Amino acid sequence: MTSDAPTHVFDVDQDNFEAEVLQASLTTPILIDFWATWCGPCKTLGPLLEKLATAFNGAFRLAKIDVDKNQQLAGMFGVRSIPTVILVKDGQIVDGFAGALPEGQLREFLERHLQPRESEDEEAELAPAETPEQAIERLRGEIAESDNSELKLDLALALMKAGQADAAEAELTALPANLATDTRAVRLRSQLDLARALQGAPAQNELQQRVQADPADWQARDLLGVRLLLDGDAAAGLEQFLAVLEKARDWNDGMARKRLLAAFATLDDAELVGKYRRRMASLLF
């Protein structure tokens, strides 16, 4: 970290760890960057994290820990490779990852847990959130300059957010094998499977009317669940799948169970997924 780094980026050692990380995280989330001077990927990741610490305007503080100088701290967190990044809130570890991620994935990681703060200085206000269409244009430009496979995965995700399922699937299919098991790729594949189910399907209002008229219209419940899920009402969609599972477990070759598993793969809300996994298990076993 350079001497002119912003105040929300700071160095941590054994002496100030408890006060600057554990205690400080009770009021402001602390993102810990475990790094070393000899680590090549750390030189890529570190500046990106500092850039995002500035962009998020104090929504979190970035703690830099040199593992060579602080082996005890690295051991306490079970750090086995660097870079390793860990997010601490309210004195507890809430998430983390190993390796140097691209900026898009870093933003996704951070935005799962916190949101950027508005700057009080109008000249330093954050730029408007990037639309999926803007992300597509930006990523295509970056890919033209650099054959980075992770950028291609970012493009597939942006295409899906823009409603371009066919284009997203084409990009996903073209990804190299080493990204096939990436969490985001698996999630996108499940989203595409769900989106395909809606091809030619009735509108949400019509499906709701069908379910009200006949609660045993399993096809309507199934499609309604998919629509609700993809429209962002995850709990309501999962309820539809559970209703089918409870009353017609074997309908359409066990489709309700398949839908639930696909839905779980698309959701980031671990608490919600855990709740509905338990309810699914209680119906199956």
**Active-site positions?**
39, 42
Cα–Cα distance measured from residue 73 to residue 64, given in angstroms and rounded to the nearest whole number:
12
CA distances from 230 to 39, 57, 118, 147, 161 (A): 41, 31, 29, 31, 10
Positions of E strands within 201-253 = none
Phi/psi class of residue 221: alpha, beta or left (left: φ > 0; alpha: ψ in -120 to 50)? alpha
Cα–Cα distance measured from residue 199 to residue 272, given in angstroms and rounded to the nearest whole number:
27
Cα 125 from chain centroid (whole Å): 25
CA neighbor of 244 nearest in space, from 274, 275, 216: 216
Cα–Cα distance measured from residue 255 to residue 219, given in angstroms and rounded to the nearest whole number:
10
Task: Supply φ then ψ for residue 118, to 5 degrees.
Answer: -70, 140
Positions of E strands within the chain = 9-11, 30-35, 61-66, 84-89, 92-98
Token representation of residue 104: 């898009």
CB 95 within 8 A of CB 76: no
